[in-house]
Amino acid sequence: MSATEALAPAVSPAIDRKALRVLRAACAQNRTLATAESCTGGLLASLLTDVPGCSHAFERGFVAYTDTAKIDLLGVPERMLEDEGAVSQPVAAAMARGALKASEADITLSVTGYCEATPDDPDSVAGLVHFACATREGGLRTHVEFYGDIGRAAVRLRCLETSLDLIAGALDLRA
């Protein structure tokens, strides 16, 4: 049986195992998690709250899909969004730091990207996603993925796996 039963069968067994491992480690270390999500639209938060007996490791989630939401909820500087674009490493880092500031979590994970290219945004690249993982101790790790034009659902599911890997790193879990 899947640990993340509400999201099964969409979530693969590999993602299911990673989520369980990350959440159990967070519980064992008495650390809490928060998310700051754009292109995943809260899917990571849903995953992290779907494991019975471990969901208390999740502190809160921010779905900041628009630039205004990134500014209002996470304190991302408007100038940064104008200069760098919402899908960028600096914005992902600002989102993760903003989630730390706006929560009581020990570890935050942010994700911002393009699930598909959009005609009104010439800079959009299908499957380009930026991640950042910040810790209360001051650590920050950024990561970029180019998943390619694999479709909206596939990009979002791949984001789950990458996000869990980054959180595992912040928890000092080895592969």
User: pLDDT by residue (tens digit) across 23-43?
Assistant: 999 999 999 999 999 999 999
Structure tokens at 43: 């899917």
> For the segment 143-170, what is each residue's pLDDT rounded down to a tens digit?
999 999 999 999 999 999 999 999 999 9
First to last CA, the chain: 23
Q: What is the pLDDT of residue 51?
A: 87
24 C-beta neighbours (distance < 10 Å), count: 17
29 domain residue, yes or no: yes
Taking residues 94-112, report their average pLDDT. Answer: 98
Q: Residue 96 contacts by C-beta under 8 Å, 6 or more apart in sequence?
A: 36, 108, 109, 110, 132, 133, 134, 140
> How many independent structural domains does the chain possess?
1
152 domain residue, yes or no: yes
136 domain residue, yes or no: yes
127 pLDDT higher than 90: yes
Task: Please count the helices (runs of H) and the strands (runs of E) in the chain.
Answer: 6, 5
Structure tokens at 140: 């920050």
Taking residues 64-69, report their average pLDDT. Answer: 97
In terms of phi and psi (left: phi > 0; alpha: psi -120 to 50; beta: otherwise), the region of 34 is beta
- What domain range includes position 21? 5-170
175 domain residue, yes or no: no
Q: What is the pLDDT of residue 5?
A: 67
Q: What is the pLDDT of residue 81?
A: 97
Largest separation between any pair of C-alpha atoms in the chain? 47
Mean of pLDDT over the chain: 94
Taking residues 49-57, report their average pLDDT. Answer: 90
15 domain residue, yes or no: yes
79 domain residue, yes or no: yes
Q: Please name the amino acid found at residue 172.
A: D
- Percent of the chain exceeding pLDDT 70 equals 95
Taking residues 95-116, report their average pLDDT. Answer: 97
Q: What is the CATH number of the domain that holds 163?
A: 3.90.950.20
2 pLDDT higher than 70: no
164 domain residue, yes or no: yes
Query: Which residue in 7, 25, 28 sits closest to 16, CA to CA?
Result: 7
3-state secondary structure 65-130: CCHHHHHHHHCCCHHHHHHHCCCCHHHHHHHHHHHHHCCCCCEEEEEEECCCCCCCCCCCCCCEEE
Q: What's the pTM?
A: 0.94
Q: Give the strand pairing for 33-37 and 58-63.
A: parallel
Q: What is the pLDDT of residue 148?
A: 95
129 pLDDT higher than 60: yes
